[in-house]
Amino acid sequence: MLASRSYKWIVFLLSITFYSVLQQLQAQNDSLAMDQEGIYPGYVITNSGDTLRGYIQFESASANQLEVTYYSSMNLEETRYTYKPGDIKGYKLLSYTFVSVPFSGKYCSRKKTFMHRTIDGPITLFKWYYIEKQQYFEDIDISGYNPDPSYELVYKVQLFAQKFGEKPVNLNSTKFEIRFRIVMSKYVLECLELAKKIEKKKKGYTHDHIERIIREYNACDLK
């Protein structure tokens, strides 16, 4: 009997702590740090199209692209489910939507992954997060370099665009980055006015403005 009461008390305390953490997370303007672990309000979308509301565990941007842990209620361990891409259509936590797609980004060879969908429409824009080691040195002698260098893990973003029914294109490929004016203007040619802005290098229509370009394309009359 005593053990049973202790267990219920522990569950009660965990529930209060969990709820408090959720309140703090919701107050962060729906913003996620790339390496900030936590459990957030969200839902998964099953392959049959059903929406299962509950809580999503965020481990890191890169880890959550390979699998996701979902809790149907605050009684954590008893309602815990882990899904891989292909098991579900996608999931959402806070304002972030991850979709199961049949391709992957840099440093990954998986046939299916969850990608962060930032724009949905005639052209869908996905973000793929990957980690690279940033090497740095400390000045310790006249040479100016520390012979025992350290590394810092740095998140980087790879952009993919996909038109309905077509294969995704890597917007960070050499082709798009070096010949952006030519390649991107052809990619959005159905929206002629937009294509002309890109081709003529109009201010605000460079590789640094991809999201703006895609939103403008999606708003264009494509009939």
Give tens-digit pLDDT for 114-172: 999 999 999 999 999 998 765 554 545 445 555 555 556 678 999 999 998 899 999 99
- Among 60-64, 91-95, 144-148, 157-161, whose mean pLDDT is lowest? 144-148
- Among 30-34, 37-41, 127-131, 153-157, whose mean pLDDT is lowest? 30-34
| CB-neighbour burial class of residue 12 (10 A; exposed 0-12, middle 13-18, buried 19+) | exposed
Q: What are phi and psi of 136, to 5 degrees?
A: -145, 160
CB 126 within 8 A of CB 116: yes
Q: What is the pLDDT of residue 151?
A: 58
Strand, coil or helix: 125: strand
The pLDDT > 70 percentage for the chain reads 74
